[in-house]
Amino acid sequence: MSYLFTSESVSEGHPDKVADQISDALIDHFLAFDSESKVACETLVTTGQVVLAGEVKSNTYLDVQKIARDTINKIGYTKSEYMFDGNSCGVFSAIHEQSEDINRGVDRASKEEQGAGDQGMMFGYATSETENYMPLALDLSHRILKELADLRRENKDITYLRPDSKSQVTIEYSDDNVPQRIDAIVVSTQHDDFDEDEIMLAKIRKDIVDILIPRVVAKLPEHIQVLFNDQITYHINPTGKFVIGGPHGDTGLTGRKIIVDTYGGKGGHGGGAFSGKDPSKVDRSAAYATRHIAKNMVAAGICDEILVQVSYAIGVVEPTSIYVDTYGTCPFNITDGEIASKIKGIFDMRPAAIEERLKLRQPIYSETAAYGHMGRTPEMVTKTFEQPNGEPITLDVELFTWEKLDYVDKVKKAFDL
């Protein structure tokens, strides 16, 4: 019997994502001027107010208020009627020095012997059902909101959009786990006030179904396009009105959208958030490393679907375990335990090795803080950062290195393929 599976996404203007983007903007600025910075920064946003808190060990000083305001304005909160805008909101900083008790377990005389910045378990996942090896429901949810943000910034085909929005996609799967059709799509988007609520709701529904969705579908490969049909159930702004939104409508916190950030409920999650953490925190770096492993394993043909778990003890160099589940999709006569053993020989999972392999001590994190950390496109970009004294620095950095298929040949060689 067929079954349904659902994933959701939230836009860059969602209050939790506003918080994530501010935290990661701070990370990028610290790393731009001191690549060995140790940072754990949390952000809270609410009506007219931003609160920054966390621990930092760095040789640089930042104007954190300016960074927070610039991030908020870039997202699109630039009008006083939003009750939260980058130019007028208050910004309170409670950032202080990192605990020496934590730092002593991480920094070592030899960089290679760097200990894990925390204990815990991290998961990476990949599936062959999409071209970027991501679960389809989450991939479509992200695409809907990215396209909606493009429409908002264009301000031409749809002129009433505000930054806050959410999406959700439900897919019907066959017994053998193959997507059959899109069953339901939910889109809730913040909007300007209208004179009449019923007219407003009808227009928003028509614009989402007739403008947004066709733009999303047009950018999909043909085998995914055919999953869309006129039998989809649409829930567009189901409460009927969404004028009050963003941090004025709901308090936002860093790290509260960890399933949106990863695999939309497929695979597993260890519970640790990413944004606001430098790569010595294995919550972030090892999650990227396990995604890198999973994607290269599926691309190499070892399996059609895979979950990779790794675990660490704080201050300890080597992981305490590596676990693999291929969900019975490996076509070869090899157990998941044997696959895990081979992975240990292919991928060095010591924290310092992960940082070096994936180039994680670059200012690359602002781009991860909305629309998912996984399934993105690796690319080189040039970024400029400005210190409080006005002195700029320009760097060429590589984004989303954990999405590269650069280990496929090594995997095939290890498995004699």
Residue 379 marked in a binding site: no
Strands (E), 249-354: 252-253, 305-312, 321-325
**Which helix (H) or strand (E) segment is 341 a member of?**
helix 336-346
Residue 277 marked in a binding site: yes
Kindly give the residue spans of alpha helices, DSSP state H, lying in 119-271: 136-154, 197-207, 213-218, 222-225, 246-249, 258-261
Strands (E), 20-133: 38-46, 49-57, 90-97, 120-127
Residue 42 marked in a binding site: yes
Residue 55 marked in a binding site: yes
- Both tokens of 101, joined, read 């008790």
Sort strands 49-57 and 305-312 into parallel, antiparallel or unpaired: unpaired
Angle of helix 336-346 relative to helix 282-299, nearest 10 degrees, comes to 110
Residue 108 marked in a binding site: no
Residue 356 marked in a binding site: no
CA–centroid distance for 303 within its chain: 24
How far apart, in whole angstroms, are the C-alpha atoms of residue 180 and residue 227? 6
Residue 166 marked in a binding site: yes
Residue 12 marked in a binding site: no
- Both tokens of 238, joined, read 């189901």
In this structure, how many other beta carbons lie within 10 angstroms of the beta carbon of residue 157? 12
Task: Identify the CA nearest to 349 among candidates 316, 323, 313, 310.
Answer: 310
Q: How would you class 410 by CB atoms within 10 Å of its CB: exposed for 0-12, middle for 13-18, buried for 19 or more?
A: middle
Kindly give the residue spans of alpha helices, DSSP state H, lying in 83-124: 100-103
Residue 396 marked in a binding site: no
Taking a C-beta distance cutoff of 8 angstroms, is the pair 106, 280 a contact?
yes
Taking a C-beta distance cutoff of 8 angstroms, is the pair 45, 179 a contact?
no
- Residue 124 gets the label, from left (phi > 0), alpha (psi -120 to 50) or beta, of beta
Residue 281 marked in a binding site: yes
Residue 350 marked in a binding site: no
Question: Which residue ranges are tagged as binding site?
Answer: 14, 16, 42, 55, 98, 164-166, 241-242, 250, 256-257, 273, 277, 281
Question: Which residue ranges are tagged as binding site for ATP?
Answer: 14, 164-166, 241-242, 250, 256-257, 273, 277
Question: Which residue ranges are tagged as binding site for Mg(2+)?
Answer: 16
Question: Which residue ranges are tagged as binding site for K(+)?
Answer: 42
Question: Which residue ranges are tagged as binding site for L-methionine?
Answer: 55, 98, 250, 281
